[in-house]
Amino acid sequence: MKSIFIIIIVVLLTSCAGNKMKPTDFKDQKPRLIIEDYLSGNVKAWGILQNRAGKVTRQFSADLNGTWDGKKLILDEEFNWSDGEVQKRQWTINKLDENHYEGVAGDVVGTAKGFSYGPAFKFEYVLLVPVKGKEMKITFDDWIFMQDERVAINRATMTKFGIKVAELTVMFVKD
């Protein structure tokens, strides 16, 4: 009986993993999102944060300003949360080749991994998130989808120990 239970769990876990969206799923789609081009200059953003049950817990607006030097993108972000908190972050994102990137920021643990195919950009990283006076390591599965030359939509799933704790939805508009 115990072995049947284990087999069922393994089948369920592996079948879910097989359906997971991959950046290469978008390789032949248009428009092409070249993240260093899109995030160079000024970009405005608006978003919502939802808890794991889907309830909107916070909203924000943000100003992004990026500078591309041909090898790396320096991206300054300023988030203005609906509860009055102002949060700043500076990313340094290096382009490794046509489809792969690496990024670092002061509140990111280790190195973020980026993948760019067609209109999609996936960014995977662990962020130190302040929660009740402590910093919690939260894993981000971050997807940006270009809609046209000015508009992109971002959807990020936030997990802890593999369990979804929140989701972030963002709309970007390039000046």
Query: Helix H segments across the chain?
Result: 2-18, 35-38
**Residue 9 above 60 pLDDT?**
no
CATH topology classification for 22-174: Lipocalin (2.40.128)
Gap between the Cα atoms of 117 and 34, Å rounded = 9
Q: Yes or no: say if 46 and 60 are a contact pair by the CB < 8 Å rule.
A: yes
Res 10: pLDDT: 46
**Residue 121 above 60 pLDDT?**
yes
Mean pLDDT score, 116-134: 93
Question: Residue 78's pLDDT band (boundaries 50, 70, 90)?
Answer: very high
R_g of the chain, CA atoms, integer Å:
18
Percent of the chain scored above 70 by pLDDT?
89
Gap between the Cα atoms of 126 and 135, Å rounded = 12
**Residue 18 above 60 pLDDT?**
no
Gap between the Cα atoms of 125 and 99, Å rounded = 17
Question: Residue 130's pLDDT band (boundaries 50, 70, 90)?
Answer: confident
pLDDT digits (tens, 9 = 90+) for 151-171: 999 999 999 999 999 999 999
Res 12: pLDDT: 47
Percent of the chain scored above 90 by pLDDT?
85
Residue 96, strand partner residues: none
Res 157: pLDDT: 96
